[in-house]
Structure 1
Amino acid sequence: MAATTAAVFSFYKLVDCHLFPSTVRSFPGSPIHLRCRAPHLRPHALAVGDPSTELCVVLAGGGSGGHIFPALAIADELSAVRPNARIVFLGTATGMESEVVPSAGYDFVPVPKVCLARPFLSPLNLLLPFQLLRSIVASAAVLSRLRPKVVVGTGAYVSAPVCFAAIISGIMLVIQEQNCYPGITNRALAPYAEKIFLAFNACIKYFPRDKCVVCGNPRRLSSGSGGGVSKSDARLHFFPESGNMNLDERALVVLVLGGSIGANAMNLAFLEVCYDMLAKQNNIFIIWQTGAKWFEDVKRVAKVHPRLFLTPFLDAMELAYAAADLVVSRAGAMTCTEILTAGKPSILVNLDAITLQLIARYKLLEGQ
């Protein structure tokens, strides 16, 4: 967490003094060594303001966990540094953020939804400018009421109207990009942002270099693989009856992550092997996060089993990583960051390849 804390302190330097250190870079092609980067940022923590000074920060980012959890990690760190700060999230009333943010203890204010349909030339996008304008006006009204010192955007279409409202209102804007290749929203906002926090060096080329700070992805895994909880205790959290089972040291927990919303191709593929694994191996436990969108479908097909924990979403993610011996996951940027932090072996799934295999299989069945 040293790099995250250092990045937050640098953020405060920006907020209080409008000054920032030069871009932090490593050697071309080298991995990002967060602990090595932290000392470069840490001296700027000296400029942190008086903790008693009132500070309001608005965060915008949603749609999926990949954008929500970095914002929550930033909020957690800001709260630790400035307990009196008011932190407010803006997002859509129907998005995942409307449930996750309040459950994390932060204020949430909904704004009208803006959704870009794919492909871009879809007729559904004809109303996009009007939707965007309506959401910007509504977001500007909320910002005028809150009067934040800074708005932090973590990407996705949810954050676009809020961040554009901040630009129009003359409020300082900071954006955070989790991926190697930035999304449309952050690329559009980059020229107007005061500073851009990046996870990877490879992403610098897409943004104004003088605005970039490479400091890794903010994450909520504060103590690596589970905050000091033992593997057996973490397993008991998901499988209370496992304490009564005759388990030997070879008992393994497989953690399956299909994303916060859900990847249907991955869920379908895992359905085919899940019960094979449970039937053939008496010492295997499976924690399976299906994603909210596909949970009911998977639940209807999947059979109840004492060594299967099926859930649409994992709140106790640190415990899940602590319990896991192997992680099977789609290769989202934030999930990869968490897996590295937890230090767990993993199988990262190429969803495009799975989708093509499933399509080919169904076409073969139709031909029969």
Structure 2
Amino acid sequence: MATISIISRFLPSSNFPTSPSYSSHPSLPSSLLTPRSSRFIQPTSLCFSCSLSLTQSNDQTAAAQDDAVGNLRVVFAAGGTGGHIYPAVAIADELRITNPTSEILFIGAPKSMESTAIPSSGYIFASVPAVRLARPLIAPQNLLLPYRLIKSLIQCFRLLRDFKPHVVVGTGGYVSFPVCLAAKLKGIKLVIQEQNSVPGIANSILSLFADVIFVAFNSTIDSFPRNKCVVCGNPVRLSLRKHVSKESARSYFFPGFENRGDCKAKVLLVLGGSFGANAMNIAMLNLYYQMLRGNHGLYIIWQTGVEAYDEMDSLVKDHPRLYLKPFMHRLDLAYAAADLIVSRAGALTCYEILATGKPSILIPSPNDSEGHQFKNASLLADVAGATVITEDELDSSTLAIAIEQILRDERKMADMSERALKAANLNASTEIAEHILSLVNLSTKKEK
């Protein structure tokens, strides 16, 4: 037996949701779509949660296996950043291709990246408000965290009860932990997918309960129960797996490029994150114009991040070989157009760099409390020869030197590209989908 008291031991390193709100969709019961105060369970009745067992009952197992012959129902718990959201979408897309009758529900936070990205990807979305862990750990705001976790678990139970999934897939984010834990407490099969080279504490805990753990790198196995791990890489969006010629991609950003006949042109792609990396943007601001003026064959595609765009746009001079945007909606074309990428070191971005075979300069975020980005960058340096610059070392001079050293060395660029492609697995989402189908006893082959 495992109780909620086990959870409290790990609370200081996780973020959990509070009370629920759900986006309207006909596939979900109206009682869930319109939450009412009468549905909230009062603190005095919360004690029953503490005695929930992690042991799946025989009746639940039999019921799940009998139901597996029907439509596959999968819940994805993902949110917070694109690094958690898009791998989940890639797996969901693959499940729909392999098993078209699959029913899929995403659970995330309201007014978040996933609350818009998931519906626009064509999937049902239900939201559970998330609560960030306050810093320092002794902050008064953290006193209510155990209560909020239990309250969140109860709401997750309701969602899972009504959707009746065969399996829950956690890819990370603030809601992933309570949703996945609720799934295990209800006897539902659980899988987690870890994008980073080293997991955070939430997935470390969930790994004890998961049926299968999908990891991106061989080195990650050492952080989990080895007998549960499947090394298959990070799921990559379908658009990135489609071949687009470099010339066509460049013409998208720089109209008329194909008519310029500049076969020696180089394109630098700068990815400042979804919201903006201030240090990267400042370094680029101080060197972009000098680089463009000194190298007439250089083109720059620069994603500043949404929150930094207005300031950067007001400071950056217009230039025919500069493409400046807050967010890259056609990131697949940006990768295809690029010769060199300067970027943060989020797990998804790092794997997309490998999958597209691009040389890279990585600047890990120092705001990553668990050091994931630095570890991801270090791994890419080992397997693909990526250049790593910490923010302490970053300025316009060090960045300019690193860019020039790579762009002027064709042999080095070719070697970095080859090593990156060898380290990636473009079929990760397919392999994960097949494992999920196998886990719930569904055939991955269509009946003829």
SS in 1 for 2:147: helix
CA displacement at 1:284 relative to structure 2 = 2.0
Q: Which of 50, 54, 71 is the matching residue for 2:71?
A: 54
How high is the sequence identity, in percent, across the aligned residues? Answer: 54
CA distance in 1 between partners of 2:198 and 2:265 (Å): 39
Larger radius of gyration, structure 1 or 2? 2
The answer to whether 1:234 aligns with 2:270 is no
What is the CA RMSD across the aligned residues, in angstroms?
A: 2.6
CA distance in 1 between partners of 2:277 and 2:240 (Å): 28
Tell me the amino acid that sits aligned with residue 240 of structure 1: P
Q: Which of 210, 234, 241 is the matching residue for 1:193?
A: 210
**TM-score, length of structure 2 as denominator length:** 0.64
For structure 1, the residue ranges without an aligned partner over 5 or more in a row are: 1-17, 19-48, 360-368
Is the contact made by 2:68 and 2:166 (CA closer than 8 Å) also made in structure 1? no
SS in 1 for 2:362: strand
Is the contact made by 1:114 and 1:132 (CA closer than 8 Å) also made in structure 2? no
Q: Which residue of 1 aligns with 2:262?
A: 248
Is the contact made by 1:113 and 1:131 (CA closer than 8 Å) also made in structure 2? no
Is the contact made by 1:266 and 1:351 (CA closer than 8 Å) also made in structure 2? no
Tell me the amino acid that sits aligned with residue 340 of structure 1: L
Q: Which of 80, 101, 105 is the matching residue for 1:63?
A: 80
Shift in alpha-carbon separation, 1:252–1:358, aligned structure 2, 3 A: closer
Q: Which of 326, 332, 335 is the matching residue for 1:312?
A: 326
Shift in alpha-carbon separation, 1:351–1:58, aligned structure 2, 3 A: closer
CA displacement at 1:133 relative to structure 2 = 2.7
CA distance in 1 between partners of 2:69 and 2:306 (Å): 40
The answer to whether 1:143 aligns with 2:146 is no
Mean CA deviation greater in 235-244 or 279-288: 235-244
Q: Which of 351, 354, 357 is the matching residue for 1:343?
A: 357
Is the contact made by 2:77 and 2:180 (CA closer than 8 Å) also made in structure 1? yes
CA displacement at 1:130 relative to structure 2 = 3.0
Q: Which of 201, 205, 217 is the matching residue for 1:184?
A: 201
Is the contact made by 2:215 and 2:229 (CA closer than 8 Å) also made in structure 1? yes
Shift in alpha-carbon separation, 1:312–1:146, aligned structure 2, 3 A: farther
The answer to whether 1:111 aligns with 2:128 is yes
* CA distances 1:134-174 after superposition (whole Å, capped 9, x unpaired): 32222222222211111100122231222122123222111
Is the contact made by 1:221 and 1:341 (CA closer than 8 Å) also made in structure 2? no
CA displacement at 1:117 relative to structure 2 = 2.9
Alignment of 1:128-139 (within 5 A): 128-139=145-156
Q: Which of 192, 195, 198 is the matching residue for 1:175?
A: 192
SS in 1 for 2:208: helix
Tell me the amino acid that sits aligned with residue 286 of structure 1: I
Shift in alpha-carbon separation, 1:270–1:203, aligned structure 2, 3 A: same
Q: Which residue of 1 aligns with 2:316?
A: 302
SS in 2 for 1:293: helix
Alignment of 1:350-365 (within 5 A): 350-352=364-366, 354-356=390-392
Shift in alpha-carbon separation, 1:355–1:148, aligned structure 2, 3 A: same
Shift in alpha-carbon separation, 1:144–1:178, aligned structure 2, 3 A: same
Shift in alpha-carbon separation, 1:121–1:292, aligned structure 2, 3 A: farther
Tell me the amino acid that sits aligned with residue 126 of structure 1: L
* CA distances 1:199-249 after superposition (whole Å, capped 9, x unpaired): 12222222222211111111115664xx222111111222225456x4511
CA distance in 2 between partners of 1:158 and 1:304 (Å): 42
Aligned residues: 310
Tell me the amino acid that sits aligned with residue 281 of structure 2: N
Is the contact made by 1:156 and 1:183 (CA closer than 8 Å) also made in structure 2? no
Q: Which residue of 2 aligns with 1:159?
A: 176
Shift in alpha-carbon separation, 1:264–1:140, aligned structure 2, 3 A: farther
Tell me the amino acid that sits aligned with residue 102 of structure 1: P
CA displacement at 1:177 relative to structure 2 = 0.6
Tell me the amino acid that sits aligned with residue 356 of structure 1: D
The answer to whether 1:257 aligns with 2:271 is yes
Q: Which of 284, 287, 292 is the matching residue for 1:270?
A: 284
CA displacement at 1:351 relative to structure 2 = 4.4
Shift in alpha-carbon separation, 1:135–1:241, aligned structure 2, 3 A: farther
Shift in alpha-carbon separation, 1:327–1:243, aligned structure 2, 3 A: same
Mean CA deviation greater in 260-269 or 143-152: 260-269
CA distance in 2 between partners of 1:275 and 1:290 (Å): 16
Shift in alpha-carbon separation, 1:275–1:190, aligned structure 2, 3 A: same
SS in 2 for 1:80: helix
SS in 2 for 1:192: coil
CA distance in 2 between partners of 1:236 and 1:282 (Å): 17
Is the contact made by 2:267 and 2:300 (CA closer than 8 Å) also made in structure 1? yes
Tell me the amino acid that sits aligned with residue 168 of structure 2: V
CA displacement at 1:181 relative to structure 2 = 1.0
For structure 2, the residue ranges without an aligned partner over 5 or more in a row are: 1-60, 367-388, 396-448
Is the contact made by 1:247 and 1:283 (CA closer than 8 Å) also made in structure 2? no
Q: Which residue of 2 aligns with 1:4?
A: none
SS in 2 for 1:254: strand
Q: Which residue of 1 aligns with 2:421?
A: none
CA displacement at 1:95 relative to structure 2 = 1.9
Is the contact made by 1:339 and 1:346 (CA closer than 8 Å) also made in structure 2? yes
Tell me the amino acid that sits aligned with residue 219 of structure 2: A
